[in-house]
Structure 1
Amino acid sequence: MIALEFTTFLGRFHPLFVHLPIGFLFLAIVLEWYESFKKTETKSKLIPIAWLLGALSASGAAISGWFLGETGLYEEEHLFAHRWLGIALVIFSFAGWYLKSKPKAFPIKLQHGFNIVLLAMLFIEGHKGGNLTHGETYLTEYAPAPIQKLLGGGEDIDTRPQFSNPDSVQVYADLVAPIFEAKCVGCHNDQIKRGGLNMSHPDSLLLGGESENVITSGNTQESELFRRITLPPKNIKFMPPTNNALTYDEIKTVEWWIEQGAPFEASLSSLEVADNIKPVLLRRYGIDTNEKPWYETVQLAPLDSTKLAALVQNGFEVKTLGPDNPLLDIKYSGTDLTNEKLASLKEVKEYITWLSLADSNVEDNWLSIVSEFSNLTRLQLEKTAVSDKGVAHLSNLTHLEALNLYGTQVTDACLPDIEKISSLKRVYLWQTGVSSQTAKSTQENNKKLEIVIGKG
């Protein structure tokens, strides 16, 4: 542990050393070219001295850089080329020092060629070091669009999948694993296991690493992985230790997954989606987990216009919900409704989602016809003679969400049948025979149902 801390201490000197060889070597090459331009016969002794100082400082930069790389603060796939090109630069610098120490022993073209190669190596090595420190888009992020296009930058390629159906989403495979793949697996994989941790597969992730409790199901505070990704970025243990840190949405996704027990096989529909994660799923993946009315989920072919015309002739007002939704909003006004007229609605029964028979002369037994409207979500029976017997016919409506019985003849006896309608969210019972006390008791037993009974 002491040795590791000491090498980390030495590694921190890399930023100090790394600029010295650039200055020394660049100075040596510029001085040499200046003397060549002036056609000086005797080369300055400062040239080989500058090459030697450049080689020595490059050695210090390479050694401290090697130690810094061993801390695990950089992604291995980017570190490899930078590290070994630095070693090659040290060797090349010492070779250059030897070459420049005996300028008359080697051809001028060889010496100039050596200078050009070294400058190219310095440029590439510096660029790779900058990418490690600042990220690959550091140079091009604010460049004009033509330059970004020329250099291959500026294109924000979003590889995040978009899902249209929440039921098909596997939480780990589709939401969490891509985050780990993009931000963590570069240093925690089958070949490179920083801290002894392999995050390439669920099994290896569960095995953990040198730190205990990498993931504690249902507890983010005890999960070392979550603690690391939420530390202050300047903390030595912050992960990932690059500019490719997890975004707010990614952190919230991982947090929610751990809180749900960190399942590897669960689908999105099988987990509880809290209110604070809903906007994240919508913003990041296009997944809308808010409950939709049934009529927005039904897919039916458009109706024949002749069927709609026949309903209008029977006195019904008929509207579709929209140009892209063929479901029907049907209303009957008047006291001349008959059982036969109501039965004519059977021709379009799967299309009826809103039905108003308010202020009509509808009878209890006629509601057996309404019970066949499988996609009915809203039924208005206010100010009719409907009683408890009529409500009993409605208990089979599996998608009914709103029922208006205001001003009808129903009593407390209708409440058991109303409770049978599991999809029902709201029922209006004011100015009926239902008592406030009984309604209150029913609502306490059914938290999803709102009973609006009024005061009178």
Structure 2
Amino acid sequence: MSMQEVSDFVLFLGRFHPLVVHLPIGFLMFALVLELADNYTKMKHLNAAVPLALLFGAISGAVACILGYMLSQSGGYDEEMLNGHFWFGIVTTLLAFFAWALKSGILKIAIFQKVKPNLALLTVMVILLSVTGHYGGNLTHGEDYLVKYAPFREKEEPLPQLAKLEDATVYPYLVKPIFEAKCVSCHNESKKKGGLAMHSFEALMVGGDDGSIFTPGDAEGSELIRRINLPENHDDVMPPEGKTPLTDQESALLKFWIEHGQANELTTLGETEVPEDVLAYAASTLGFAAAGLAHGSTDVLPTANPLNMEVVHSITEQGFKVKELIDGSGLVEVTLEDGQINAENINKWEENFKLLAPLKDQILWADFGGNELSDAILVQIASFTNLRKLVLDNTTITDTSVQPLKTLKNLESLNVYKTNVTNNLLPMLGEMANLKKVYIWQTQVSTDAIEQFSKNSNLEVVSGV
């Protein structure tokens, strides 16, 4: 067996450490509970189980230490943090064996026979166990994992509120949150897989063991983009299998930042031409619904009555979110969080949608994605006469249920991503004169049908292909 094979086998075993490490925690905590019950209750018979719990805790602790050492050979961990975790684990394990030997009577020490330090030993052991776990959590999730949301901790200054979408600096407002959600757990100050840290822009610039992860102006030639585009079962794919992958929108945003934003920390959306899908993602993420308007669109806005705040309040009480797009315009976005409507409450929501009727001429943008939508709800949506952008992704809509939407004469953008629509939807879309773009990937609409449709239509069909 070669050294490489030995190394792979060692790492294979080491990856069982996160599973095994919970066993000593459970056994030793259980031993403490039994000891407390023996000391402070009448359940003296439980004391007989303490030596067994200590023995299992000590043995599983020893196995966890060995597997942890094997896992550490993969590298990428902060050495000081790793040493702290390792040695606290060893001391805790040795103390567990010592406590078991005393409790079982195998080890007889005169002074301990008189003092009976079982409870004190177990208390110290649990404290050491907590410290060991703290170091382990820091190694896995970052140094500030435990205290990040603590009330006494000095909070990081929030980013300034944006007045316009085009003022958004791409890295801090859009790119960094993606890295924090999908990458930083494995690439931080304490845990640098592949020698790469991604918790700050400065760390990104340093790169990893293989050098820079992106080439400004060349997204396809950047290692970061190559890794996130690999098949999900590939050894080098990032995030690795088992972690939450980047969405198509997040990948598109990163490509845009590298290609057009030159992977710069200070580039704003207003300084470069932004693809529509990236603009829509940025608008949704940052709370700007009408992306085109926020980005300097010259479209003439419809005239609307001032908002009736009593109506708005009655709508928001039911779970809708209503936001005026431009102060004083009376034009609004209406959104609904994912998962609000399901088969059990859909009748109630059909009534709730009727509450939107007083705003039907004022709704310019709407997002009801991620919900079950009935035919009756689609009829209500079709009454929004000035609707420009409509998001119905991840919903239960079908070719038949969306037919009422063809009456929306002002609709410019429609998102039916990951729904049950088929090729039969395309003729209806062709009848919608003002419709400019439809997002249709991960549906049953075929590539051939899209190509045939596009020969006779100027409508931009975004299929993800």
State the TM-score, normalizing by the size of structure 1. Answer: 0.46
State the TM-score, normalizing by the size of structure 2. Answer: 0.45
The structure with more radius of gyration: 1
